[in-house]
């Protein structure tokens, strides 16, 4: 079981095809068929078939490389992650500091 593995995003940002197991947080990093491939854990046959296809026809996957790179940079850049985190924290703080409503008039 693997958590969200940043290695997949690092490879994607470099325009590499990524293959990961469909478990844990990996599907959050890989959009199956769009930014890479997900396989069932232990499915060696599927892995071998994908590797054979990718290595024998690399140009067939140029669109995937481009999409994966764009996605990694636009959605997972640290500046974007920081901005999203600040936004979430700010919303939480605002909602927790709002006065409780009891349904009664003041």
Report the domain count for the chain: 1
Q: Is pLDDT above 90 for 92?
A: yes
Answer yes or no: is 1 within a domain. Answer: no
Q: Is pLDDT above 60 for 1?
A: no
Q: What is the CATH number of the domain that holds 10?
A: 3.40.50.2000
pLDDT, average across residues 71-89: 91
Answer yes or no: is 106 within a domain. Answer: no
Structure tokens at 61: 């996957």
pTM comes to 0.74
Q: Is pLDDT above 70 for 98?
A: no
How many CA atoms does the CB half-sphere of 3 hold within 13 Å? 1
Separation between Cα atoms, residue 103 and residue 46, nearest integer Å: 59
Answer yes or no: is 102 within a domain. Answer: no
For 96, other C-beta atoms within 10 Å of its C-beta total: 7
Task: Say if CB 36 and CB 12 are below 8 A apart.
Answer: yes
Q: Per-residue confidence at 20, pLDDT binned at 50, 70, 90?
A: very high
Q: Is pLDDT above 70 for 105?
A: no
């Amino acid at each position: 079981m693997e958590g969200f593995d940043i290695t997949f995003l690092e490879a994607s940002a470099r325009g590499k095809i990524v293959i990961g197991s469909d478990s844990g947080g990996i599907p959050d990093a890989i959009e199956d068929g769009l930014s890479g491939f997900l396989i069932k854990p232990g499915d060696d046959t599927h892995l071998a078939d994908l590797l054979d296809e990718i290595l024998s026809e690399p140009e067939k996957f140029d669109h995937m490389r481009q999409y994966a790179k764009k996605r990694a940079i636009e959605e997972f850049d640290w500046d974007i992650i920081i901005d999203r985190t600040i936004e979430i924290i700010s919303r939480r703080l605002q909602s927790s500091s709002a006065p409780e409503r009891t349904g009664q008039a003041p």
